[in-house]
Amino acid sequence: MLGKMTAPTKFQLADAPMSADRTAGFRFVSSFGEVFQAANGTWMLTSAEAVKFAVRHPEVFSSAEATNAGSGIPIPLIPVAVDPPAHRKYRLVLDSMFAPRVVNAMEDDLRTQARDLIAAFANKGECDVVGDLARLYPTQVFLTFFGMPLDDRDQLVGWVETMLDHSTTGTAEAGPEVVEAATGLFGYIQRFIDEKRERPGDDVLSRLLALEGDDAWSDEEMLGCCFLFTVAGLDTVTGAMGFLMRHLALNPELRRQLIADPTLLGPVIEETLRVEPPAPTISRTTTQDVEVCGVRIPAGSPVALCLGTANREPGHWEHPDDVDVAQADRGHMTFGGGIHRCLGSHLARRELRLVVEEFHKLIPEYEVAPGFDPVAVWPAGTLHLTSLPLVFPVGDGGA
Ligand code: HEM
């Protein structure tokens, strides 16, 4: 007999008071236990031990089954919707395309793009850092990596947000605008697959198309992969950027320390990622009966791995609920773990760093617009702020 059997709880993730305060939200989740069944039947793994166990056993906790069942997208999202051993072939190719040395080579271009976006509002004395920067920049970075024109940014932002809004509301039927957005995005990507097959450039898409023989990818694999990048690598960065800028706006002393000692920026980014994980849970389906932390989970069960609670486990951090640069070397699970660990973590960290560095060059002093309460969208697949109005003095520190 595998572990003890437990009855479903009344827990619903949507009930977690996450919008105003993630500390209260994640405490609510943990209060039900380290392994328990939510009212809708999903098993929640909340402790670091339980989450790490699941990501280290991908043969038991299938990402393919969870993703293909829940995405509503007709093709596999490569590589998250692929289990081992097939998963390895994709990561071998993709890892090298998003390695730190590749990100380093792009840094000047990405920095200029960040600066241009910030310069557009630096003389206005106010901005919405989410709408004017955090929503736009990750899409520009995607377009740059995939060799697509930056002019298409707003169209792409519109399609992706329409699709993600739909997955957040959890309505089963996709309305016409969602179908239109998904069709538009698929058609857009397919057009570039065709174009780059004819006229390759120096970009991720062209490099994938150049794979030959047994290594070559089908059009469906290419589409599924590009599609995943748009749903995994855009609003996550938007969310992280919003939370990071919010934290800096609310903590002027930390901001001044950061300007005086730029080496603190890496630790501040890590700690903000830890306490404000844009993807608070990731999904799996069990392929067999399994015991986790003494509790039995039957085969075929949906499971949510709660990265947000694993990131704040008491005992591991001196101040689990606070951004504290002194504990930034203790790690976190915001980028997941195991074979599906985030492919874009180096790039995401670089995007955050470049944006803060360039922001502080042009706008060193700023605060949240008086009266504005920066609450997060919840329930949501990706935790994020929809808006973060900032005000700042307009001086001569600009361009
Ligand atoms: C702060 C920003 C980001 C966060 C918090 C984040 C978080 C995550 C997490 C938690 C996973 C694991 C999913 C799972 O195991 O089910 C993941 C996977 C992934 N992420 Fe990210 N991500 C971020 C940015 C990015 C960016 C910028 C890219 C694109 C370059 C990206 C591409 C991917 C891909 C392709 C996977 C699937 C990897 C695999 O299945 O092997 N992510 N991400």
In a domain, 170, yes or no: yes
Whether ligand 1 lies within 6 angstroms of the CB of 344 is answered as yes
Q: Which tokens sit at 316?
A: 């591991």
- Domain assignment present for residue 322? The answer is yes
Q: Whose CA is nearest to atom 43 of ligand 1?
A: 342
CB of residue 244 inside a 6 A radius of ligand 1: no
Evaluate: CB of 63 within 6 angstroms of ligand 1.
yes
Structural domain contains residue 8: no
Paired tokens of 377: 């969208």
Inside any domain, residue 2? no
Q: Which two tokens stand for residue 228?
A: 């995943």
Task: Compute the distance from residue 343 Cα to the ligand 1 centre, in Å.
Answer: 5
pLDDT recorded at residue 232: 92
CATH of the domain at 130: 1.10.630.10
Q: Is residue 44 part of a domain?
A: yes
Q: Which of 67, 137, 236 to mutate to test the pocket of ligand 1 (most atoms within 8 A of CB)?
A: 236
Does the Cβ of 236 fall within 6 Å of ligand 1? yes
**Which residue out of 305, 335, 353, 385 has the highest number of ligand 1 atoms within 8 Å of its CB and is therefore the one to mutate?**
335
pLDDT of the residue at 261 = 95
Between the CA of 105 and the centroid of ligand 1 the distance, in Å, is 21
Beta carbon of 91 within 6 Å of any ligand 1 atom: yes
Whole domain around residue 117: which residue ranges? Answer: 13-391
User: Does any ligand 1 atom lie closer than 6 A to the CB of residue 37?
Assistant: no
Nearest Cα residue to atom 12 of ligand 1 = 336
Q: What is the pLDDT of residue 397?
A: 47
* Number of domains the chain is built from: 1
Per-residue confidence in pLDDT tens, the chain, 399 aa: 577 878 889 999 999 999 999 999 999 999 999 999 999 999 999 999 999 999 999 999 999 999 987 666 778 899 999 999 999 999 999 999 999 999 999 999 999 999 999 999 999 999 999 999 999 999 999 999 999 999 999 999 999 999 887 776 555 567 788 889 989 999 999 999 999 999 999 999 999 999 999 899 999 999 999 999 998 999 999 999 999 999 999 999 999 999 899 999 999 999 999 999 999 999 999 999 999 999 999 999 999 999 999 999 988 999 999 999 999 999 999 999 999 999 999 999 999 999 999 999 999 999 999 999 999 999 988 999 999 999 999 975 444
pTM exceeding 0.75: yes
- When computed from its CA atoms, the radius of gyration of the chain, rounded to whole angstroms, is 21
Is residue 192 one of the residues assigned to a domain?
yes
Joined together, the tokens standing for residue 163 give 């699709």
Q: Which of 113, 123, 191 is nearest to 153 (CA)?
A: 113
Which residue's alpha carbon is nearest to atom 18 within ligand 1? 342
**Is 1 part of a structural domain of the chain?**
no
Distance in Å, CA 274 to ligand 1 centroid: 15
**Phi, psi (rounded to 5 degrees) for 12:** -130, 130
Task: Give the distance (Å) from ligand 1 centre to CA of residue 223.
Answer: 17
Identify the pLDDT of residue 94: 97
Among 362, 241, 310, which residue's Cα sits nearest to residue 52? Answer: 310
Ligand 1, from 110, 343, 382: best to mutate by most atoms within 8 Å of Cβ? 343
Tokens of 155: 């169209």
Q: Please name the residue that has the structure tokens 């730190």.
A: 100
Q: CA-CA distance, 286 to 118, in Å (whole number)?
A: 45
Kindly state if the Cβ of 282 falls inside 6 Å of ligand 1. yes
What is the Cα–Cα distance from 223 to 212, expressed in whole angstroms?
17
Phi/psi of residue 318, nearest 5 degrees: -65, -40
Cα gap 358→353, rounded to integer Å: 9
- From CA 52, how far away is CA 47, in angstroms rounded? 9
Q: Is residue 144 part of a domain?
A: yes
**Residue 399: per-residue pLDDT:** 42
341 C-alpha to center of ligand 1: Å? 7
Please give the pLDDT value at position 43. 98
Ligand 1, atom nearest to 277 Cα: 5
Distance (angstroms) between ligand 1 centre and the Cα of 299 equals: 26
Ligand 1 pocket, residue 80 CB under 6 Å: yes
237 pocket-lining for ligand 1 (C-beta < 6 Å): yes
Instruction: Please work out whether the CB of residue 323 comes within 6 Å of at least one atom of ligand 1.
Output: no
Separation CA 353–CA 347 (nearest Å): 10
Question: HEC profile for 344-377?
Answer: CHHHHHHHHHHHHHHHHHHCCCCEECCCCCCCEC
What tokens appear for 108 in the block?
């000047």
Sign for the pseudo-dihedral over CA of 103, 105, 107, 113: negative
CA atoms within 13 A on the CB side of 278: 25
